[in-house]
Structure 1
Amino acid sequence: MVDFEWYRSYCTIYKHNSVSEAAKTRMMTQPAMSQHLASLEAEVGEALFIRTSRKMVPTERGKELYSQLAPLIESLEETTMGFRSASLPTHTVIKIGAAHEFYSEKILPQLQKYNTCTISHFGTADQLLELLKEDKLDIIITSKKFQTPGIEYLKLMDEQFVIVAPNHYEIFDTDNPMLKEQWLSSQNWISYGLDLPIIRRIWREHFKNRPQIRPIHIIPNLHMILKAIENGGGLSVIPTYILDKSANKAKSKVIFEELKVKNEIFIAFKLKHRHLPKMNEVIKLIREQNV
C-alpha cells in the first residue's frame, strides 16, 4: 500500500532534482528520503528518475506521475494548513526585509496597497537570512538562494546590471576584449563593497578572470553610487531599474552594454508560515508588482 509521505517526498525530489536538497526541505535524513523514493518505485514497478552525478533526471513515467500528483498534494496541503492556520498567530504585522535600494524602488511606491501593518528592515542577503531564521523577519527579498531547511524561495524577478559612466566620459572604442578589459581596469571605480560585488561577476562572466581593480570609493548604497557617477566620480555597475527611475538621466550613460549581467531575485519565507493569510496577501502583492 502506498504511503502518502512517499508521494510528498517524490514531488519534493522532482522539484529540487536532488535527494539531499529534498531531504533538507522536508527536514528529513537523506537515507529516509531515498527509502521513500525506493518504496514508491517498487510500488510503481519502474524507475522514476535517472540518477546522474549532478542531479536526478525524471523519466517519462516520472514526469507523468508528477503531473498527476503535484496538484492533488498541493490542494491537500493547502486544506490541511487552512485548518491549522486557525490556531496560529494571525500575523497582523508583517516584517519585511530587503536591500534598501530594492525596497525604495519596488516596494515603497506600492506600500499603500498593503492591507496590513508592516515593519521594514534593510540589510545584506546574509543578514536578512539570519533574521528570517530567527523569526525576526517574516519575508525577505534576496538575490541569494541559500539551501536552508524550512525556508521556501519563490522566484520574483530578474534584475539586470550594466556598467555606467558619467555622460561626459570619453569611452575607448574597441571590439577587442583584452583591450576593453585593460581600459576598464585603468579607470576610477566606485564599488558597493571592497569585494567588488557585481563588478566581480562581470569580470568572471565576460573576461574569465578576476578584476584587477582598486576602487577609489566604497559607497554601500546604489542610489548614492549613481549620484557619484553623475557628479563625475567614476564608473560603477548599476541595476537598470534604478537607472530607469533616475531624475538625471542626461548625467550618466550605459557603456559596453554587451557586458551586462543578470541577477535572480527571490522572495523567501518560512515554510511553517506558508498558509498564513496575511503573509500570502503581502507575497501576492509583491509578486504582482514585480513579475
Structure 2
Amino acid sequence: MVDFEWYRSFISIYKHNSVSEAARTRMMTQPAMSQHLASLEAEVGEPLFTRAPRKMIPTERGKALYTQVVPLIEALEETTQNLKTSAATSLPVIRIGSAHEFFREKLAPHIGSYQMCVIAKLGIASQVLDWLVEEKVDIIVMSQKLSAPGVEYIPYMQEEFVLVAPPNYNEPTFEDRESFQAWLCSQPWISYDLDLPIIRRFWREHFQKRPQTHPTHVVPDLHSVLMAIEHGAGISLLPTFMLDDHLSRNKVKIMYPSCTVFNDLYLAYQMKNRNSPLLKALIERMKKTVENNIR
C-alpha cells in the first residue's frame, strides 16, 4: 500500500530536482528520502526520475504522476489544516454566503458575537444560491427569492435605498413629477449593472414606468459606485447602511429623501437543515442584531 509520505517526498524531489535538497526541506535524512522514492517507484512499477549528476530529471511517467498527485495532496493538506484550525478554535463552523457590501457593512462587524467560526463566501445572488444548492455554504442572505429545489426562504430585514449625490450637487425643486423625471434622466447615473436593477425599481415606484435613462458609468459593485459619487462622477441609488460614515464626513449627500425604495432581504438554507441547532442559533443572533439596530 502506498504511504502518503512517499508522495510528499516525490513532490519535494520533483520541485527541487534533488534528493538532498528535498531531504533538507522536509527535514529528513537523504537515505530516508531515497527510500521513499524507491518504494514509490516499486509501487508504480517504473522509474519516476532519471538520475543525472547533481540533478534528478523527471521521466514522462514522473511528470504525469506529479500532475495527477499535486492537486490531491494540496487538497488533503488544506483539509487537514482546516480541521486543525477548527479544533484549535473549539467553535462550531458555519458557512455564510452574501453580497460583498452586505457582509462588509452588516455582518462582519457582528461575527464576533456569533460564538461560531464564520467562513464567508461573497458573490452575486445567482452565485450565492448555487453555493447553497451545492452545499458549499449553510445559509445565505438574498434580495430575491429565486426558485431552487430544497431551499427555504424566511424574511430577514428591509434595506432602504436612497438617491445619493456628491455633497455640492445641485438639487432643484420641481412642480410636477414629469419635470422631476426629466431632470433625473438628464443626470449622469452610475450603476453596478447594465440592467439597472434597483434603478428600475425606483422608476416603477415613483413614476410607474421603466427608466428612460442609461448609466454613464458601470462599475463592479456598490462600494465602487459610492467611491465614484464621492469624486463627482454622478448620482445613484445606494442602501442607507453604507452611508453613515460618508454622510458624517460630508463626502456625499442624500437628495430628495422622500424618494426611497425598500428592498426585502431573506435568509435561505437547505430545507433538510431547518432544525439544525447551529443554524437556528445563527438565525436568532442575526435577527437580534437587526432588532437592536432598529431600536
Q: TM-score, normalised by structure 1?
A: 0.66
AA at the equivalent of 2:264: E
The secondary structure found in structure 2 opposite 1:198 is: helix
In structure 2, the partner of 1:217 is 217
Structure 2 Cα separation of the partners of residues 175 and 253 of structure 1: 22
The secondary structure found in structure 2 opposite 1:275 is: coil
1:106-149: CA deviation from partner (whole Å, max 9, x where unpaired): 11001111222221111111111111111111100011012434
Answer yes or no: is 1:184 the counterpart of 2:190. Answer: no
Q: CA deviation at 1:284?
A: 1.5
In structure 1, the partner of 2:236 is 236
In structure 1, the partner of 2:256 is 256
In structure 2, the partner of 1:20 is none
The secondary structure found in structure 2 opposite 1:254 is: strand
The secondary structure found in structure 1 opposite 2:144 is: coil
In structure 1, the partner of 2:146 is 146
Q: CA deviation at 1:287?
A: 1.2
Larger mean CA deviation between 265-274 and 253-262 belongs to 253-262
> What RMSD over aligned residues (CA atoms) do the two structures have, in Å?
1.7
In structure 2, the partner of 1:286 is 286
Q: CA deviation at 1:198?
A: 0.5
Structure 2 Cα separation of the partners of residues 100 and 175 of structure 1: 39
CA spacing shift, 1:248–1:229, aligned 2, 3 Å: farther
Q: TM-score, normalised by structure 2?
A: 0.65
Contact 2:246–2:252 (8 Å) recurs in 1: no
Contact 1:243–1:249 (8 Å) recurs in 2: no
AA at the equivalent of 2:153: Y
In structure 2, list runs of 5 or more residues that go unmatched: 1-90
Equivalent residue runs for 1:76-155 within 5 Å: 92-155=92-155
Q: CA deviation at 1:233?
A: 1.0
Structure 1 Cα separation of the partners of residues 227 and 118 of structure 2: 29
Moved over 3 A (4+): none
Contact 1:106–1:289 (8 Å) recurs in 2: no
1:152-192: CA deviation from partner (whole Å, max 9, x where unpaired): 21211111101111111112210311111111101111101
Larger Rg: 2
In structure 2, the partner of 1:169 is 169
Higher relative contact order (CA 8 A, sep 6+): 1
In structure 2, the partner of 1:267 is 267
In structure 1, list runs of 5 or more residues that go unmatched: 1-90
